[in-house]
Structure 1
Amino acid sequence: MKRIFVLLAALMAGTLLLSGCQSTTAGGATNSSRSQLLLISSDEVNQGAATAYKKELGRARSAKALNTNTAYTKRVKNISNKLIAQVGVFRPDALKWKWEVNVINSKEVNAYCMPGGKIAVYSGIISSLNLTDDELAAVIGHEMAHALREHSREQISQQIATDQALSIAGALAGLSSTQQSLAGTASQLVLTLPFSRTMEAEADVMGMELMARAGYNPEAAVNVWKKMANLGDSSTPELLSTHPSDSSRIDRLHSELPKVMPLYQTAAKRQGKSAAKKKR
């Protein structure tokens, strides 16, 4: 009887994996698309993210650190808005997300974009790395790509699958109880679950395409990771705790440049014409 239960649980887990596989985005010029395990709805994850984001902004507001640097806030919002305008290439529905963009005054070298388009950039990453607008676009584009690809939703789904595999009773009882439990703590999970190397690679490449389409030089993406690596072990950025900056990563970005440089050149030319018209 025990063997029958084990086999039945395995069959159910396999069915869940097959039924939950899809891609959240179109590929774009860099083919940033693959089949993903998605066992929880976007709405559940986005609600959890909205709750977590609200709490983070509340803490920053209480510390009088929310959007207090006018220059940084203007730069971040301007760049973010240009990047957001390009997300339809990967998923048209993201154009209708309730995007939010804020700057938190902190020495922390960090930035993130929670599910549903909740962006936060810490002033420390701008000042410590002395980021140009192109480099800042690379950072924000990378974080936006995580949200577009719904990497947090994928991570939570993987957690669900793991829990089901480890619990025969849970697998036999069905997915809903585990799903509800994880959905209830989504506000914590979107901040604590680290992204895999595959997800980081996707965010690198998709972010580079976003910035190119928005008229920012994609070569700056390589500069960002070189700058982060040069900060040294004594001040390792929070980003590098899960975003390994190694030669293979930089090589990957270099290899993708030929795909996105034409997009940047087209956007830059278009923006140049637009600027010329404004001067007339």
Structure 2
Amino acid sequence: MTIALLNPFVFSCRRCAWVLGVAAALALPLPALAQVDVGSASALRKLVPAQTLEQAADKQYDQLLAQAKAQRALAPDNNAQLVKLRAIARRLIPFTSQWNSRAGQWRWEVNLIGSSEVNAFCMPGGKIAFYTGILDRLKLTDDEIAMIMGHEMAHALREHARSRLAKTQATSLGLSIGAQLLGLGDLGNAAANLGTQLLSLQYSRSDESEADLVGLELAARAGYNPQAAVTLWRKMGEVTGSGGASFLSTHPSGPERIRELERNVPRVMGLYQQARR
């Protein structure tokens, strides 16, 4: 994904400096134990300072929004699609701290960018962006939007970017894990000078599987139908090869992905039914 792909045809608008209010949500009791099984997060992520990476992500996010605003492609606060996205996020956020204790400190933010590109992401620290192309071209339901948002939030909550950066930078710098644990700052410096890497990271198959399952549970707890995860990825598969589907360059669809989601839908259906009651 590159900023140059922005399409200014959708909106004439001002910067949407919107931050979700989560103080009340943080006062809620923690939910029951996770229903999906994704194991422990990678210990390698600890080699990169979380705060440093989140600050780098904030900077890149601000740059992305500034460019979108300059191209008149940033949705205003009263845009109907953006209002819907933010409402969905407000329902998901109360359940994020179960997956990452830092999530309660994040300044969650959601923005919408006018582009035919099929894409969405959540950066470390809770900065979310959707492109109008993913909403319009896939004709997403609210439940399907929640699955995408939950999936992207899960990447941030499981700190996949942090782990991926630790692995790639440590290898390229020729550093040993032992050296990093002794306090050498090379990985921290690398995290602070990422350029556009956070917008084009290639996650592993296990990262994608984790994000699918954690996102599925987040959305179910928030009252969104888990079956939508299956219909979503079927739609994703249909747009493969149709052009502009940047989402699929980092989130490939396939039968095994759908089968794994189908196996896990029953695990979270009770959470969804409880939320609906």
Same fold (TM over 0.5): yes
> In 2, distance between residues paired with 1:116 and 1:228?
26
Distance in 1 (CA, whole Å) between partners of 2:91 and 2:253 is 26
Distance in 1 between the 2:90 and 2:55 partners? 22
**How many residues of Structure 1 are paired with residues of Structure 2 in the alignment?**
241
User: For residue 154 of structure 2, what is the aligned residue in structure 1?
Assistant: 145
Pair 1:220 & 2:189 matched = no
Larger Cα Rg: Structure 1 or Structure 2? 1
Which residue is equivalent to 2:245?
A: 237
User: How big is the shift at 1:153?
Assistant: 0.5
The equivalent of 1:98 in structure 2 is: 107
Q: How does 1:156-195 map to 2 (within 5 A)?
A: 156-164=165-173, 166=174, 176-195=184-203
Q: Distance in 1 between the 2:193 and 2:74 partners?
A: 25
Question: Relative to structure 2, which stretch is displaced further, 151-160 or 27-36?
Answer: 27-36
**1:30 counterpart = 2:36:** yes
- Residue 267 of structure 1 aligns to which amino acid in structure 2? A
For the residues of structure 1 that align with 2:219 and 2:234, how far apart are their CA atoms?
18
Ranges of 4+ aligned residues in structure 1 off by more than 4 Å: none
The Cα offsets for residues 209-240 of structure 1, whole Å up to 9 and x where unpaired, read as 00000000011011111101112413251111
Instruction: Give the deviation of 1:96 after TM superposition.
Output: 2.8
> Corresponding residue for 2:261?
253
The 8 Å contact of residues 30 and 259 in structure 1, kept in 2 or not, is answered as yes
Q: What is the CA deviation profile of residues 16-63 of structure 1, one whole-angstrom value per residue up to 9, with x for unaligned ones?
A: xxxxxxxxxx97211333241121110110011000000000011111
The amino acid across from 2:89 in the alignment is S
Identity of aligned residues (%): 43
Partners of 1:44 and 1:230 lie apart in 2 by 38
- State whether residues 112 and 121 of structure 1, in contact with CA within 8 Å, keep that contact through their aligned partners in structure 2: yes
Offset, 1:133: 0.3
Cα distance in structure 2, aligned partners of 1:85 and 1:95? 9
- State the Cα deviation string for residues 166-194 of structure 1 (Å, max 9, x = none): 469xx69x873532441232353212321
Greater share of helix: 1
User: Which deviates more, 65-74 or 133-142?
Assistant: 65-74
Distance 1:100 1:261 in 2: 28
TM-score by length of 2: 0.81
Between the aligned partners of 1:84 and 1:30, the Cα distance in structure 2 is 18
What is the one-letter code of the residue matched to 1:213? Answer: R
**Structure 2: gaps (5+ residues):** 1-31
